[in-house]
A and B are shown apart, each in its own frame.
Chain A
């Protein structure tokens, strides 16, 4: 680094920084691009030895992801008449016939409900709690904050049995509400810690002014603090969503037909005997999209939210 101003680096420094970061980004991207490409390969191409970079693309993986199929003898297939659509054609080439939809669609929908539901609840409760800790003289604040953090320290596997039995008794087993509450409980620690940090940075003067003007505490919270914390809330929301969206251990142990989300489902999509890699890849790609969209949409907030230092005087 040159001896000149650190806050405004020279063009050359920027260039070097750019190269390194772009290089890292590209390397990091390789596995993800590979996943996406695999989604468009045939099962044989996906496991080709050595790995194939150039291949004939097909949507077989996606078709396999959304359907269940069964094998039939060529005579039986002849007897069924012509294929109705391209999906059926693709599948028949493999000597199979589509017998119905797979459960991926359901699982994906469950992920949306549970993921976004628990994120919303985490942010709601988390913001309130963070504000409470930040602004009010709550006795034992440090200890309570640590208590909240400690709830995150127990391995999910350990907590799963008592929760399973508890949920069973309460009728929350394999329900959306049960999973939303569970994920919220786990996310709250991160939410409260991050949001308290953000809210601490917002000067109290604004609220004081509002209170003097006759606003109630809650109105001050709602109208003054919340907008300023919006960017911090956005970044916290992203982290909460990512966790709830991608969670595996609890989903595998506590859900089955009704409320199961996609992560337990995707790594186990069986094709003909073994894992159907194109379908797994297709599932992983589709599953990534909502989080990706959510992050890109909130991108400005995400990056701006972490510049709350600008609010400091």
Chain B
């Protein structure tokens, strides 16, 4: 009897052990090829040690990232087991069955979305928005903010001149109007023997650049995507008076206060312009901030950071960032889920922040030491509190392309009026939604 019990116990233990140490898998994680991705590679060595699985990475540079990965997802490819996809893909991926729904997994493993910054949960994980259906774990928080040359702002002559001209101190602006004043102040000024310019803003035509820039102004002038009471009805909201003013403001800012040749600028060009000393301020996603701090020309205290300024219609900033999902076509979903479970742990999230990844875990960002851990940490926190995102509909690409077209045509090429551009945009978007069957 005793022997039988022992044998049974050993057999059971063996089974349990076998179930836990399932065979070591080769997982592939797909993301964009940039600094944080390299940091993730380092970080993931911890997962490999713990779990015995091997991590492979497929990084595609941002300009091709959407093409490559959406191609992959749309053809049921098995290249990626884990995908850190852009926040706008959630709608499509959820509705087309490309991501695995994570609700059950979260419950089983005690992961709750309450532990994460609410804006990131809505932005990166939920579809439909505002409902507790989760398709990703918030992985990398990002938001558009501003970087400025603190060393220039602190020059006494400039301070005196600014004070005289505008009747206030030369300091990070609180409103968009103040931002424009500062930009005008610096435009064409001689500093250290070179002509400098006011600000570098997003103007890129090809992928999503100008949209990601203009929304920061539009939101703060009262632009909303649709009637809150009547989804997909956009007339009067996308092209409201405030929105028209906002778009005109962005064009004025482009015309008056940006460097020559900045008609197709996005993250990379703005950084180049800022680091080479061409501009006093740059609009850019927060992920660049560690690099700014480390730069020999503009880092080490010469730069400061501020939140996207308020406008007459609100105070928002454009959301960036991504969540990590499990691809539904993967045949190693269990192992992939293990990775997500590991990644969600507070200790790992803390390490993630330390190696340059913007953790979205509340515990990390609300930690008392967080705000002082880096010069930009407070600005990041403040910015994440006011985020707003673009459409995440399955048809988001159509919507994005339409906006790129209309906005660039008006702001950069100077065709038509702001009202015409936004009216045309409403038409484009209405057509898209009609095609989708949502209208």
CB–CB under 8 A between A and B in the complex?
A: yes
Write the A144-169 contact mask toward B (1 if CB under 8 angstroms, else 0): 00000000000000000000110010
Of the listed stretches B57-65, B108-116, B319-327, B409-417, chain A binds B57-65
CB pair A273 B268 closer than 8 Å: yes
Q: Which residues of B contact A264 (CB under 8 A)?
A: 64
27 A-B contacts (beta carbon < 8 Å): A44-B297, A47-B275, A47-B276, A49-B194, A49-B276, A49-B277, A68-B41, A70-B38, A70-B42, A70-B356, A71-B39, A99-B41, A168-B75, A252-B68, A256-B68, A257-B79, A268-B33, A268-B61, A268-B63, A268-B64, A270-B33, A272-B271, A273-B34, A273-B267, A273-B268, A273-B288, A274-B269
Q: Which residues of A contact B287 (CB under 8 A)?
A: 273
CA distance A252 to B63 in the complex (A): 11
CA distance A230 to B35 in the complex (A): 50
Q: Which residues of B contact A269 (CB under 8 A)?
A: 61
Residue from A99, A168, A257, A274 in contact with B271 in the complex, judged by beta carbons closer than 8 Å? A274
- In the complex, B294 has a CB within 8 A of chain A: yes
CB pair B42 A44 closer than 8 Å: no
- Please indicate which of the listed interface residues A48, A100, A273 has the most CB atoms of chain B within 10 Å of its own CB: A273
Q: Which residues of B contact A100 (CB under 8 A)?
A: 41
Q: Which residues of A contact B295 (CB under 8 A)?
A: 44, 272
CB pair A272 B294 closer than 8 Å: yes
Residue in chain A with minimal CB distance to B294: A95
CA distance A272 to B267 in the complex (A): 11
Interface size class, chain B: 35 or more
- In the complex, A19 has a CB within 8 A of chain B: no
- Within 28-82 of B, Cβ neighbours of A (below 8 Å) are at 33-35, 38-39, 41-42, 58, 60-64, 67-68, 71-72, 75, 79
Given known A257-B79, A272-B35, contact A70–B41 (CB-CB < 8 A):
yes
CB pair A71 B355 closer than 8 Å: yes
Write the B398-434 contact mask toward A (1 if CB under 8 angstroms, else 0): 0000000000000000000000000000000000000
Given known A70-B38, A99-B42, A256-B68, contact A47–B62 (CB-CB < 8 A):
no
- In the complex, A73 has a CB within 8 A of chain B: yes
Q: Which residues of B contact A69 (CB under 8 A)?
A: 38
CB pair A70 B267 closer than 8 Å: no
Residue in chain A with minimal CB distance to B64: A252
- In the complex, A12 has a CB within 8 A of chain B: no
Q: Which residues of B contact A49 (CB under 8 A)?
A: 194, 276-278
- In the complex, A253 has a CB within 8 A of chain B: yes
- In the complex, B292 has a CB within 8 A of chain A: yes
Q: Which residues on A are within 8 Å of B, measured CB to CB?
A: 44, 47-50, 68-73, 94-95, 99-100, 164-165, 168, 252-253, 256-257, 264-265, 267-270, 272-275
Q: Which residues of B contact A95 (CB under 8 A)?
A: 294
CA distance A70 to B45 in the complex (A): 13
Q: State the Cβ distance, A187 to closest chain B Cβ, in Å.
A: 24
CA distance A168 to B76 in the complex (A): 10
Q: State the Cβ distance, A94 to closest chain B Cβ, in Å.
A: 7
Q: Which residues of A contact B269 (CB under 8 A)?
A: 274
Residue in chain A with minimal CB distance to B68: A256
Q: State the Cβ distance, A53 to closest chain B Cβ, in Å.
A: 15
CA distance A68 to B287 in the complex (A): 18
Residue from A47, A71, A165 in contact with B35 in the complex, judged by beta carbons closer than 8 Å? A71
CA distance A71 to B42 in the complex (A): 10
CB pair A71 B267 closer than 8 Å: no
CB pair A70 B62 closer than 8 Å: no
Residue in chain B with minimal CB distance to A42: B296
Q: Which residues of B contact A267 (CB under 8 A)?
A: 63
Q: Which residues of B contact A275 (CB under 8 A)?
A: 268, 272
